[in-house]
Structure 1
Amino acid sequence: MKFSCEKAILQSAVLIAGRVVATKSTISALEGILVEASEDGLCLSGYNLETGIITRVEAQVTQPGSLILSARLFGEIIRKLPDDVITVSTEGNSVHITCGPTSFDIMGSPADEFPELPAVDDGSSVTLTQSALRSMLSQVLFAVSTNESRPIHTGALFEVEDTTLTLVAVDGYRLALRREPFIRKFGMNTFSFVVPGNALTEVERICADSDEEIIVTLGDRHVTFQVGQTLLVSRRLEGEFLNYRQTIPQNNPISLHVDTSMLQLSIDRASLIINDKLKSPLRCKFEDGSLAISSRTAIGSAFDRCPIAGNGQGLEIGFNNRYLMEAVKAAPAQEVRMELGTPTSPCLLLPKEGETDNFLYMILPVRLKAGE
């Protein structure tokens, strides 16, 4: 194998493919990147048996071939080479890398040791802009569960309906939902699937903040995300995802409006005396025109007041400070509607009346104790 490629192009491809490479594995090939050179250019693949990434770049290939290279070492070499054209040539498992006056000789592994990535047949698919999916993922993934006792909830639910794609994540304490229109779909009129949170984190990273398209294709056991010349393939999570529609309370008696930036500041101030060792809920009292937020731990107490539009009827309710903050930060609006019921019922963050119904965040309350 022998090829030449601009450093910036090769370095970007190595970074993309290397994102899913296993740092430690009993299968040594999984710690490497499969490099394949052909008439069509250069193809780099990384795989950890759950998520795989294949990315293609242009290169001048003078001798086709393939080899597995250590992702860590190859990546470091490429990063530290001069900004020039890099030439990679192999003889057996020996690899010679040159760039300007600099050269390296390292060992690779036979390409046939690399596990084959799963193939996904052309099934139902949905296409939307990269920027739309990127923002949806950034505003939902924080609520994905890390509890392996319910594996289905360690991923996010994709629901494709008539004209919209809905993403939902739950972890037993909160729920995050985002909805956006898509460009087009193929196959079934409605379909749904669950993708692991770790894979979706990588999807978010490879998506650009642009109107370029991303195609999500559903297979029998896997799902693919096609972004330009990069393909990410992930296993699907099997099981019954929470029927989230039944868990969202309806006809809540208290409805308020609040500025998200002002609410973030109030939560942040009241959280200053709370940490992992000194845990305490935020005590929130919704009054007429204001929200009083206080906290108390062994090192002291904090109090702040945030203006709201509406009457909270004196409702006093407790929340985990981090869960409340993450939901408020994720809401893609300068002002949100808060719906509440009782001290033991969930709080909802929704768009204002009359605005597009494109997000919903639900946070379960924490039972308050006397003196907190």
Structure 2
Amino acid sequence: MTEPPGLDLAALAAHLGTPPLTAELIPGGRSNLTYRLTDGTNRWVLRRPPLGHVLATAHDMAREHRVISALAGTAVPVPEAGPLCEDPEVVGAPFYLMQEVPGVALRHRDQCPWLTPDKAAILSERLVDVLADLHSVDPDAVGLGDFGRPDGFLRRQVARWGRQLESSRSRELPGIDELRDTLAATVPRSRRATVVHGDYRLDNVLVTAEPTAISAVLDWEMATLGDPLTDLGLLCVYWNGLGIEDDPITGTVSALPGFATADDLVQRYATRSGADVTGLGWYTAFAYFKLAVILEGIHFRFTTGKTVGAGFDRIGRLTLPLVRRGLAATAREH
């Protein structure tokens, strides 16, 4: 195996005190980079930030490591955390290791020949149930009581993603400023505060076929304490996608027979968690805005040659369709 971009395997082996290592980039992720790593006997997964244009606070390895460590032993399935290295001299950026977990991240229909309608229905329920379980975790009980600042969370989120937009702005994006300003002017009052994942969706969990289950929730880089409806709104946006062929937002997996509708997911979440989900339209609109900004940041990295992997050339085309859907969601809400 050749040495993948973003890793110095000799330096990494020396740092970890292991025999010589081999590694491969795990495809599919478009933000932090994920590698499968082995010394011939042991296997790990390594996470590090992207190679360039790292947005402030968006690629914090210590936060990811802290949250999966804290959630071990709860009802939320997470990989076992390994060592964290915050010294950028080893591989060029901070990183951490975690144990490899069985299961696959379902990103494309060709991964799903085993997924019968009955299994798809079960998986829909499991996805919602794990989210409800996450939102039921007592942050203080798992050592995450200071993991975020719930007061003013939504207002800060709109401002934060507005700043991220400015950090990635390289072209005209009609409507995106209107969407940001509308969201800022209509921020709802949060009803409760929980641990939030920040990017919860089907392809950020690992799925096993037998039994049909979620073996791990991945990609905790945006986790914090805040309003749990932000997770639910974003899940609905990912679930519905853009309604186009070969949709890179969903991979069209959630459109296969047997999967629940987004409305079904919301209803199950409300029943399972006891949460009031009225006013979800604002959260959905915010999710469209947030995703548009994320994809614009990825597009910026692509145009500057700072991405690793395939499919990045299509990402920039998705920003404006997301903006238009966000504006439509704000219109429906008001």
TM-score (norm 2): 0.25
* Bigger RCO (CA 8 Å, 6+ sep): 2
Higher strand share: 1
